[in-house]
Structure 1
Amino acid sequence: MREHHVWVTTRRLQPGTREEFERAWRPAPAPEGLHRAYAYWSEDGQEITGVSLWESREACDTWRASEAEAQRRAAMAPYVVEEREGFYRGRELTLPSAARG
């Protein structure tokens, strides 16, 4: 099974700043080695979890240490109250087929 390299960041935002945060959050251009990225918001729009899939830990670490990422984080900072992040390795789970009756 193929192993995935995943960076997960959850941020609590200042109330009413989600749109401004979104504009600051998206990197341009996309980082090298980034395969996919997803964003998930809480119902109240004050918490956002970003999930990104990378080709390797090294590719993610290179981006995290880059000047472009430092600038992106500085642009997001005025909207962020709290941040948690972590790097994970894992794989896709195979789900059992639905029982047929």
Structure 2
Amino acid sequence: MDEHFVWVTTRRIKPGALEDFERAWRPSSHPHGMLRAFAYWSEDGQEVTGVSFWDSRQACDSWRASDAEKQRRVAMAPYVVEEREGFYRGGELSLSSV
């Protein structure tokens, strides 16, 4: 199994603030070491989960400590009610037919 380094953040958004949140949420530049990123929205638009894949834990930590990320979090703050986040290691599961 190929190992991946994954950062997952789930944010509950204030009602009606999804468009403003999305503008603040997108980074202004591609973070060094980020390989891929995905975003998932709840049907009611009040919860957003971001999943990003990194080449190392150090690359993710470096981005999270950067001024660009700090500015992005300040810009998002007026639209966020709650935030949960975590760093994980793992890989893709192989599904076989039974």
TM-score by length of 1: 0.94
| Structure 2, unpaired ranges of 5+ | none
Question: What is residue 49 of structure 2 aligned with on the other side?
Answer: 49
How do 1:32-71 residues align onto structure 2 when only pairs under 5 Å count?
Answer: 32-71=32-71
2:12 is the alignment partner of 1:2: no
* C-alpha deviation, 1:28, in angstroms: 1.7
Structure whose CA Rg is larger:
1
Cα distance in 2 for residues equivalent to 1:13 and 1:74: 14
Identity of aligned residues (%): 73
For these two proteins, the number of residue pairs brought into alignment is 98
Task: Report the 3-state secondary structure (helix = DSSP H, G, I; strand = E; otherwise coil) of the residue aligned with 2:89.
Answer: strand
- Spell out structure 1 runs of 4+ moving beyond 3 A: none
CA RMSD of aligned residues (A): 0.8
Cα distance in 2 for residues equivalent to 1:55 and 1:70: 21
